[in-house]
Structure 1
Amino acid sequence: MTHKKEGIIRVIENLSAISDENAASTEEMSVAIEEQTASMEEIASSSETLAKLAEEMQLNLSKFKY
């Protein structure tokens, strides 16, 4: 009976360790996703700025056309 009890305790400890590892991995993924989202927002903002600059350049260049 003691062997079964010890076996069950080991299984529970292993499951607890796996659960802790999963929680840590999930937290790391969450941080990575937040960083990626911030990068995507920065890229989108930069794209908008570039589009506005390109439009301004087109307007300025059109002044030099005959």
Structure 2
Amino acid sequence: MTENKDKIIEVTQNLSAISEENAAGTERASSSVQEQVTTIEEIAKQEKLATISEELRLF
């Protein structure tokens, strides 16, 4: 009986550790995606400014 209890505790601890690792991985992925979004937004702003600058130059 004690052996089964110990096995259940071990499995539960392992699952908990895996869950924490998954959460950390998800946080890293989310952070990376946010960085990419920020970069894309900056590129879009620069392209828009370049277009406006070109339009003003034509006047």
List gaps (5 residues or longer) in structure 2. Answer: none
Q: Distance in 2 between matches of 1:11 and 1:47?
A: 54
Question: For each residue in 1:5-52, what CA deviation from the matched residue of structure 2 results, as whole angstroms up to 9, or x when unmatched?
Answer: 111011100100000001101111111111111101101100101111
| Higher Cα Rg, which structure | 1
Trace 1:1-66 onto structure 2 (pairs within 5 A).
1-57=1-57, 59-60=58-59
TM-score for the superposition, normalised by structure 1: 0.80
List gaps (5 residues or longer) in structure 1. Answer: 61-66
Identity rate of aligned residues, in percent? 46
Larger helix share, 1 or 2: 2
Q: Distance in 2 between matches of 1:47 and 1:25?
A: 33
Once superposed, what is the RMSD of the aligned Cα atoms? 1.1
Ranges of 4+ aligned residues in structure 1 off by more than 3 Å: none
The alignment of Structure 1 onto Structure 2 pairs a total of residues equal to: 59
Q: Distance in 1 between matches of 2:5 and 2:39?
A: 51
